[in-house]
Chain A
Amino acid sequence: MVPVDDIRARARDLLQSGKVRAVLGYRRGTAGLLAEPAFMTTAEETAALVLDPTCVENLALYLVNEKKRMKHARQSDRRPLGIVAKGCDSRAITVLLQENHIRRDEVVVLGVSCEAGGMVDTRKLNKALRGKVATQVRFDSEGDINVSHLGGSTTLPARDVLANRCLECARAYPLDADFLFGEKVEERPYGPRFTAVAAFAETSREERSAFWDAHFERCIRCYACRAVCPMCYCDECVVDSTSFIVGPTTTADEKADRVRWINRSATRSENAMYHMVRAMHLAGRCTDCGECERVCPVNIPLRLLNTMLEREALEMFQYTPGLDAEQPSLISSFRDGDPNDFVR
């Protein structure tokens, strides 16, 4: 069991000693079962810090968002940010370091191991409870998940309610942490990486095409997948209609004639283009935190796209993102032995 009191004590200490300007962690929310991200700026606030299977959010996103915010802040506190990070979240931080988006001394990582557990998938939970609303979840001593709901409680096998990415997670603890809470458990009782995408890749091309057609048809382009992704940190995005080109010196003609790669209409072809662009931009960078898939209001299984590309990165280039901040990123490095038979 990860000792939550130890994390609270460390967070309190970091804030009291003034070593960090805030600690990013989790606390109970009011919106539902899941914990909510919290910026804790005073030692008192750390009493509310929680860590349980509902702490799904990848807080590494806020390192990126804070950097953007600080750029415009009139006064800025340049002390580092403390951040509670699970294995997948810490790999995202490492990718940000690999890409020189942040510096290591800007962050104090309070790494937490998921040990043999992981985070719940509320959709699986809803399905398993057939509409009953879960109010609390915790691992029991057997490694199963105990769920309280209005009117009672029930115990479900962890495999049935953990997020797919957790079932496939190979490193459920942070590799690079200033403080580590919990055990580094190497052997996990679930499946290997890429289980879901391997099964999907077995289906025929026609089936896959029909599958994605149906899903992209339903996308409403709320951009929650983009907004929640710590790797989607570009100031300008190809899908945005104004920020892409308009600046103080842009002329009216330039605005009128600008190339629009993707129309605003949420139609299948435009949506497919958006998701393909995003997937390609994440190749060799996605650490499989699964946030894109979790936040999609219409349940598009976006993780399949990203893990497909990560599988290619591993098979073709023996590359896994987020393991070592000193390692050059996949896209920025070339080795003589790299396969190049796809170059024509």
Chain B
Amino acid sequence: MDAILQKESLGRWIAKLQERGEVYAPEFVEDAWEFTKVERGASVELDHTNTVLPAKGFVFPQREVLYRFRIENGKTPELTDTELSVKPMVVFGVRPCDGRATVRNDRVFTCGVSDPYYQARRDSVVFIGLACNAPPSPNCFCVAVGGSPCSEDGLDVLMTDLDGRYHVKALTDKGRDVVNAASDLFQAATAADRNEVSNAQVAALEYPQRSISAMDLVVAALKRNFESPLWDQLARTCIGCGACTYLCPTCHCFDINDEVTSKSPLTGARVRTWDNCQFPDFTMHSSGHNPREDTGARLRQRICHKLLYFVETHNMQQCTGCGRCITHCPVGIDIVRIANVMEEGVWQ
């Protein structure tokens, strides 16, 4: 199902959706784009470059309360808030790389054993994608990892900017629902419109992106180079912060802690927070031994998880080419260069 929305009607569509729940869209805050809640009547212009934080936080927030507890001496412990209730949410302006990231996060959190917290959010959030006409970041490389600037994967709706109007394609039941909620705002898409979408898609693919020269060889190259001194060379300048993985749309490691608010009675919350394989304490054993004791081992883990282990397990890269880890690395560590270096076996 596809339709046409005039750009001046976007605000009215958003207003209609706000009657049912919260709406989020990219906003330029402090010199950078981030997803923020759209206030009633606020105008939204979908002309953003990549947001600093990906859309994963809507389904996998940095902090999730799993339940609250209260334990009093001699009494049965009480657990509350054991189930998550999520308000319906619509997120506008999700780039196709973040959409493809959702497919990967679904693999992790819902296949086999389903994570109820992730699932509850996933069921309540509608992702409205925006196809990229020009690459939204200088470090975009979605094509190199099997994606495309107009990929529909993981999205509920895909919008394509057609100069003055949007082509809006609903891809899932949730997507059809949000379009039908304001059906009077949309016009039927004509063959000419669809033709224009195809042209935009062809043009988008022609924009230069960063490239990985032999992606099909990278898996074998990473296996071959597991013990290579290249890793230490590549990671020699790594400062060991966690910007790359916290900004990654597919990194999903977490930690669980009890946050105690009083000792007697013992009250608090069991909380899940993002964790980060680039931090030294991520793999620290209680014995004090750390199997990934230097930045070389930790960088290898991050790159191999994205481009080797996930491919072996799920037959797809866990990297969607958004380029955030490159753009925001304080010292310019670059997954595209690393993939090329590993395949060629030399570092210049």
Contacts and interface: CB of A to CB of B under 8 A. Distances in A.
A220 B242 CA distance: 10
Interface centre among B326, B328, B334 (most CB of A within 10 A): B328
Contacts of B271: 263-265
A126 B328 CA distance: 14
Interface centre among A36, A38, A291 (most CB of B within 10 A): A36
A265 B239 CA distance: 22
A57 interface: yes
A123 B31 CA distance: 7
Contact of B287 (A31, A240, A248): A248
A222 interface: yes
A263 B138 contact: no
Contacts of B279: 223, 240
Interface string A248-266: 1010000100000001111
Nearest to B338: A30
B281 A241 contact: yes
Chain B interface, >50% SS class: loop
B133 interface: no
A242 interface: yes
A218 B242 CA distance: 15
B265 interface: no
A152 interface: no
B241 A29 contact: no
B277 to A, nearest CB: 13
Interface string A169-208: 0000000000000000000000000000000000000000
A32 B332 contact: yes
A297 B239 contact: no
A57 B62 CA distance: 29
B227 to A, nearest CB: 16
Contact of B284 (A34, A220, A246): A246
Contact of B239 (A31, A38, A228, A243): A228
A328 to B, nearest CB: 29
B236 to A, nearest CB: 5
B332 A291 contact: no
Contacts, number: 128
B257 A295 contact: no
Interface stretch (A13-21, A61-69, A278-286): A61-69
B287 A30 contact: no
Nearest to B268: A263
A298 B332 contact: no
Given A222-B246, A298-B32, A266 B273 contact: yes
B242 A72 contact: no
Contacts of A291: 330
B87 to A, nearest CB: 20
Nearest to B232: A69
Contacts of B329: 31
Contacts of A227: 239-241, 330
Interface string B69-91: 00000000000000000000000
B191 interface: no
Nearest to A267: B63
A258 B326 CA distance: 37
B273 A265 contact: yes
B237 A36 contact: yes
B332 A30 contact: yes
A226 B247 CA distance: 17
Interface pairs A-B: 5 shortest CB-CB: A227-B241, A36-B332, A29-B332, A224-B241, A295-B330
28 contacts: A31-B327, A31-B337, A32-B138, A32-B139, A61-B239, A62-B237, A72-B294, A126-B31, A220-B62, A222-B241, A222-B247, A224-B243, A224-B330, A226-B241, A227-B239, A227-B240, A227-B241, A228-B241, A240-B279, A246-B286, A248-B288, A264-B273, A265-B63, A265-B259, A265-B273, A294-B330, A297-B53, A297-B328
Interface of A: 29-32, 34, 36-39, 57, 61-62, 65, 69, 72, 123, 126-127, 131, 133, 218, 220, 222-224, 226-228, 240-243, 246-248, 250, 255, 263-267, 291, 294-295, 297-299
